[in-house]
């Protein structure tokens, strides 16, 4: 865009120079031609007066036959610029300008090129004294030399005019470049920087002309935009921070809800629904070797009746802690319902019975001065390699009740 503008500006400058030169050249030519015409007319009038003066001057020499004076006069006249022919003739038309003063003389003539023949003027005056016609004077002048000099002076004047025009135009261009074009280009660059998000200012605001007013407007706009962007950025940052806080809060809520949906509130272990989902996921992944351990707290109703439900809750919490101590990371542990708990372990039935026996002993041997003693009855069953798993849940529940019927505080089948 700038190169195109510069090219257009250059063409405009050339056009302006040619236009001014054409108009000025025509005007100078017309003025110079008119002045030349007037000068030639004045020159011809001068030579007419000169011829009249010479005619009066030679009256006495003609009376006295002073031909030597006439020849000297003629030689002097021929020295005058633009005179190409001069002759003094008697009344019979015979030239009186003779060599060495003789009467068979000749006229004085300067050679004239053919190109100058169109610019000659002839002047004649009769010589009379005391009423007697003594002869005549003939003078021919050429204005070609004057015209040539006039043309040379015209060309010089045109060259000087063109040089002056170029100088003036250069000064004007420099002034326009400095006062208008450069400031406008700076404003354009400033606008481009503002468009890119760089809120810069221009030092042109110190000027007192229209460019200064425009620059101050740009600076004010840039400052206002910068403040507005900072304000909007701050607002967006605060909104973003609030949004992040809200998202974090929602994540925490979702985590709490997920924990509440999958965890037993009293004991902190899996609830029945989450246990079934995780066990089904393990089965879907191909882990078919699992055994179930179900245990139920013995005489738990009596504990609630004798010590209260708060104490019963503490007993359940302590029992869960003791059971978790004997489990591995792969084991699944949940509160199946009430005081019943279910463990899924990736072991065959024999090893699962030994794990159940270890947990039973931990519960039996636990003692705390503020808690009553408690025991649990355990049932163990292994999932079949194929077939439905629901039957295993029924089987492990039956074995747990068989342990209770056999006297409680034991593992069935026995280790």
Question: Per residue of the chain (415 residues), what is the pLDDT tens digit?
Answer: 444 445 556 566 667 767 776 777 777 777 777 777 777 777 778 777 777 877 777 777 766 666 677 777 777 777 777 777 777 877 777 777 754 433 334 455 666 555 555 567 777 877 777 767 778 888 787 766 667 777 777 788 778 877 877 787 777 777 777 766 777 777 777 777 766 766 666 665 566 666 677 777 767 777 787 788 888 888 898 898 999 988 988 888 888 788 788 899 999 999 999 999 998 888 778 777 899 999 999 999 999 999 999 999 999 999 999 999 999 999 999 999 999 999 999 999 999 999 999 999 999 999 999 999 999 999 999 988 666 678 899 999 999 999 999 999 999 998 7
166-191 burial code (b ≥16 CB/10 A, e <16):
eeebeeebeeeeeeeeebeebbeebe
CA atoms within 13 A on the CB side of 127: 25
Domain 272-412 CATH (choose: 1.10.3720.10, 3.40.50.970, 3.40.50.300, 3.30.70.270): 3.30.70.270
The model carries a pTM of 0.47
The confidence score (pLDDT) of residue 160 equals 81
**pLDDT for the residue 117:** 53
Residue spans of the domains in the chain: they are 2-160, 199-262, 272-412
Separation in Å, CA 376 to CA 209, 272, 314, 408: 100, 19, 15, 7
pLDDT at 155: 80
């Amino acid at each position: 865009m700038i190169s195109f503008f510069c090219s257009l500006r250059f063409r405009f400058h050339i056009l302006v120079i040619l236009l001014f030169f054409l108009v000025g050249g025509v005007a100078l030519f017309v003025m110079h031609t008119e002045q030349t015409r007037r000068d030639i007319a004045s020159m011809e009038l001068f030579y007419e007066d000169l011829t009249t003066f010479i005619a009066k001057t030679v009256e006495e020499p003609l009376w006295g036959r002073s031909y030597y004076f006439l020849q000297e006069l003629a030689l002097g006249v021929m020295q005058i610029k633009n005179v190409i022919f001069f002759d003094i003739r008697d009344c019979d038309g015979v030239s009186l300008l003779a060599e060495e003063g003789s009467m068979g003389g000749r006229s004085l003539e300067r050679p004239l090129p053919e190109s100058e023949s169109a610019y000659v003027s002839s002047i004649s005056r009769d010589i009379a004294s005391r009423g007697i016609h003594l002869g005549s004077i003939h003078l021919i002048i050429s204005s070609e030399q004057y015209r040539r000099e006039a043309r040379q002076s015209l060309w010089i004047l045109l060259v000087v005019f063109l040089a002056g025009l170029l100088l003036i135009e250069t000064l004007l261009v420099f002034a326009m470049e400095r006062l208008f074009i450069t400031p406008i280009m700076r404003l354009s660059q400033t606008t481009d920087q503002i468009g890119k998000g760089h809120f810069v200012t221009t030092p042109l605001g110190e000027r007192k002309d229209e460019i200064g007013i425009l620059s101050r407007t740009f600076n004010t706009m840039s400052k206002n935009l910068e403040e507005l962007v900072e304000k909007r950025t701050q607002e967006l940052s605060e909104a973003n921070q609030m949004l992040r806080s809200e998202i974090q809060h929602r994540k925490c809520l979702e985590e709490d809800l997920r924990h509440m949906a999958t965890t037993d509130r009293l004991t902190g272990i899996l609830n029945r629904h989450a246990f079934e989902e995780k066990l089904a996921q393990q089965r879907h992944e191909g882990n078919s070797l699992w055994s179930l351990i179900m245990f139920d707290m013995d005489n738990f109703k009596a504990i609630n009746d004798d010590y209260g439900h708060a104490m019963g809750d503490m007993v359940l919490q302590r029992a869960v802690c003791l059971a978790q101590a004997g489990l591995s990371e792969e084991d699944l542990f949940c509160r199946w319902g009430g005081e019943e708990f279910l463990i899924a372990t990736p072991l065959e039935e024999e090893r699962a019975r030994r794990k159940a026996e270890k947990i039973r002993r931990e519960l039996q041997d636990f003692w705390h001065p503020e808690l009553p003693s408690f025991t649990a009855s355990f049932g163990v069953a292994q999932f079949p390699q194929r077939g439905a798993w629901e039957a295993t849940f029924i089987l492990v529940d039956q074995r747990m009740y068989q342990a209770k019927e056999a006297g409680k505080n034991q593992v069935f089948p026995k280790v």
